[in-house]
Chains A and B, each alone.
Chain A
Amino acid sequence: SQTIHQWPATLVQPVGSPLSLECTVEGTSNPNLYWYRQAAGRGLQLLFYSVGIGQISSEVPQNLSASRPQDRQFILSSKKLLLSDSGFYLCAWSVRRLPQTTNEKLFFGSGTQLSVL
């Protein structure tokens, strides 16, 4: 069966420090991968998605970046964190579909609670 691992579960970082959150998926190949952020009391905001190794699409301009060095690995990074980067970060995957076909569902990791102080 497929599983998704996301770590760390919680992270407290000072402003201006770097960030690296990692997400890996097991049990599937060629998944679509996603990073979402959930700010306190707010809904989900899609940050990045990837349809393949090295292919990253950014939905929201910001000081965050994403990379996909391997098929089932997705990394969220920042060189210098801002206070506004605090939030709950969720990695997710879905089965890769052909264009013009509907995605069945997203599978989410357990999330990382990031506090920037």
Chain B
Amino acid sequence: GNSVTQMEGPVTLSEEAFLTINCTYTATGYPSLFWYVQYPGEGLQLLLKATKADDKGSNKGFEATYRKETTSFHLEKGSVQVSDSAVYFCALSRNNYGQNFVFGPGTRLSVLP
């Protein structure tokens, strides 16, 4: 079946450090891939997405590239800030009607000043 695997958290970094959160997926066909972010006490917000192989999604300094050959969609940011502290979810969308989003378990990021 379709699934998303993320690196285990929590991840703790100092401000201005480089961030990588690994995400790999298993899916039939060609899913779209997403990163969602959840700030404390809030719902999820779309951070970035990529809809086909080799696409790069980017937003707020975060980037992720859709790698079909390695079935990966790793999230990166060159210099994290305290305000980036949140839980990050990798997700895929299948080509199906109705229920078609599959989320990873989430990775908690804490950025220290």
Contacts from A to B (Cβ < 8 Å): 6, 32, 34, 42-44, 46, 49, 51, 57, 59, 90, 92, 94, 97-111, 113
Contacts and interface: CB of A to CB of B under 8 A. Distances in A.
A43 B99 contact: no
B103 A111 contact: no
Nearest to B100: A103
Nearest to A32: B98
Contacts of A100: 95-97
| Interface SS of chain B | loop
B62 interface: no
A44 B104 CA distance: 7
Interface string B31-43: 1101010000111
Contacts of A108: 36, 43-45
Contacts of B41: 111, 113
Contact of B42 (A46, A92, A110): A110
Nearest to A112: B43
